[in-house]
Amino acid sequence: MSKETILIVEDEEDIAGLIAHHVKAAGFDVMIAHNGVMAFKAMEKQLPDLIVLDLMLPDMDGTELCKILKRKKTTQKIPVVMVTAKGEEVDRVVGLELGADDYIVKPFSTRELTLRIKGVLRRLRGPEVEPKVLKHGELTLDIDAHKVTTGGKNIELTLTEFNLLRELLLNKGRVRSRETLLNNVWGYSFEGYERTVDTHIQRLRRKLEDHGKIIVTVRGIGYMIKEEMP
């Protein structure tokens, strides 16, 4: 499967390079343009899957560039994440009214930006078909019934514990970082909240009793459920 490509339109080379570094690290291909003309030339060679667009450009205002993008048939469906130093509500509203899919104000963390990019692309793809029943050995999670059983015994879980177990089972065999779990289960991901994940994992393991050992700690990263039974 080919990587999705992000076009970064940012006139400050250092900032563009920093954003590009982290976006690449998040698994995307990257193109960089330092002004509107460069952006259109880049898109003539390859249409990106998403555009990170700074509003303050030297040759044309980012809002004007966004207007052109949304008028052209070839580019009107490309999602845009606007980046600006302006924090006024009116700027945000104007950006969204022009067709931007998200809006982030400088200064921002590169982690937050990559999460915004992933979120926009995820919404664009639409919901994936998710199995209604997830199994691992004698452990069964029924999504519609909101029920977890082990060997026929019902396990009482809170909504967060249920969603945490579902996230791990849906990604069986793959490590889920604390950041990813926070974002997908709690809906936020900021420094200092990683301990929340650890606490809920401990509670979940206790409630699953002997089956709690299927949740493996990957030191320094996060957690996973292995494909094979431990």
DSSP string, 76-123: TTS-EEEEES---HHHHHHHHHTT-SEEEESS--HHHHHHHHHHHHHH
Peptide bond connecting 131 to the previous residue in cis, omega within 30 degrees of 0? no
Contact 161, 200 (CB under 8 A): yes
Angle, CA of 204, 210 and 211, to the nearest 5°: 60
Phi, psi for 76 (deg, rounded to 5) = -65, -20
For residue 1, the model assigns a pLDDT of 46
Considering the domain 5-125 in this protein, what is its CATH number? 3.40.50.2300
Which CATH topology does 133-225 take? Arc Repressor Mutant, subunit A (1.10.10)
For residue 92, the model assigns a pLDDT of 61
For residue 189, the model assigns a pLDDT of 56
For residue 203, the model assigns a pLDDT of 92
Strand positions, DSSP E, 29-71: 29-33, 50-54
Domain-wise residue ranges, the chain = 5-125, 133-225
Total-model pTM: 0.56
Range name among 26-30, 62-66, 99-103, 118-122 with the lowest pLDDT average: 99-103
Tens-digit pLDDT profile for residues 8-49: 999 999 999 999 999 999 889 999 999 999 999 999 999 999
DSSP 138: T
Specify the 3-state DSSP secondary structure of 146. coil
